[in-house]
Copies of this chain bind each other. A is one copy, B any other.
């Protein structure tokens, strides 16, 4: 028996696009002699589908796509993910289902039992959990069909759910497992995925075919990395990251095993590739081609423009250099050198005239007050307005360059440098920004070394440095990681060796700046806990603030 896995880039709500992609894959798999071709979770409609699932019309269209696939399933079985209506009145109205289609019929439907409702996931918002588990018989084999999370409750000390769906199926003695997934990227996830598939294999001693999505959906990036694992626990194959891919596997060869072909997993390279994919697919799915951003000469905008060029091409990226009276000459020069290195169009627009116009307009209100953060913010907002004007006039999308360290502590101006459609580095700590910049420069100096080596500064007042108001980034980032990613509270942080006064100060900064993050652009998620849908914090809360 031959099994084809199609790792595809779906687009939420783009029924025609998703269906056409799957139809082409069915034909390709058929030509390669596959008996089964499998797609990802909710592949007819894309994932995370969010509240589109609340529209009857949307569900009808999902069913239409399932019907269209059923109609072409003569001689080849198709495994596809779609929402299914719950026929029972009590409970949620939908199931998250895997369909097994063959010869124009629905041979079986397995609903998902474990509904991830944490981090970016909201599945219990829409779906009723499955309570029935049956293998599907096909060409003399028994198949355990499962959806994503249903294989993730094994081997945990503190399991999230009270059942393991595959345990329920094992009395029926399946020959292999098909798992259709939509399992988003984070820099540790490819490793975690192999680990959990292996834990299942060790428990059930049968092979698994695990098919993931690729592409991105605004904040959520899918890295592919679909897995075929043999009963010996070895990685028979792992599909490429961040690429569509269709491969056909011979079941006997997989059962025999012996091959072990996992891909290398370098954290910084994975983050780099995920950010490029995140930019590229955001533009593609919105139907935009061109990006604009401000280059300050600092490392964050430098890294962002490199990623943008890699995602969109130099001809589609334009930058503004917008020095103020506080900008150093070397900053402007670094920005210019970088633009030239990359071959992107750049314009120099000094902001002083607009800044002075604001100063003059507000002199009656401000004359008795000293220069403070207000005037710093006016500069940032003049820049934001210039960039948005370019974005509006030329129909390009402004990229937001603030990094995760800054977003955490609120070091950024709302409606100023926080303008933009996509926060490229919003899930990348400053120390990781440095690592990424060095990775970009590994073969030649693309980002000027002085952008990497000089002390970070917003250059919004004379001689300003980030270190005037923030702890050193190597300490700050470690503390933020423990608080944000690991949810460690103040006592745990102090026990980890952070100074009490620093803990108090940093946690307060994080918590009182929720109002800024609430209005920030969507962040490309690369860690296990990104700002946005995955981290839901009250704004008026008074905890640790």
Contact = CB atoms under 8 A, between A and B. Distances in A.
B522 A521 contact: no
Centre residue among A351, A360, A539, A544 by max chain B CB count within 10 A? A539
A160 B385 contact: no
A461 to B, nearest CB: 14
A362 interface: yes
B282 A540 contact: yes
Contacts of A353: 357, 360-361
Interface stretch (A70-78, A295-303, A487-495): A487-495
Given A52-B541, A382-B385, A522-B539, A349 B362 contact: yes
Contacts of A122: 117, 122, 536
Interface residues of A, number: 98
A51 B218 contact: no
A343 interface: no
A293 interface: no
Output the residue of A49, A360, A365, A369 with the most chain B CB within 10 A.
A365
A73 B520 CA distance: 46
B55 A358 contact: no
Given A354-B361, A393-B369, A12 B543 contact: yes
B347 A365 contact: yes
A347 to B, nearest CB: 6
B377 A389 contact: yes
A175 interface: no
Nearest to A539: B218
Contacts of A17: 542
Nearest to A52: B543
B50 A542 contact: no
Contact of A543 (B13, B117, B124): B13
A58 interface: yes
A479 to B, nearest CB: 15
A54 B362 contact: no
A285 B160 CA distance: 34
A381 interface: yes
A365 B159 CA distance: 58
A467 interface: no
Given A282-B540, A543-B58, A393 B415 contact: no
A322 to B, nearest CB: 9
A421 to B, nearest CB: 6
Interface string A445-479: 00000000000000000000000000000000000
13 contacts: A12-B543, A14-B541, A17-B542, A46-B538, A50-B537, A91-B159, A91-B162, A218-B539, A285-B542, A350-B361, A373-B392, A382-B385, A385-B415
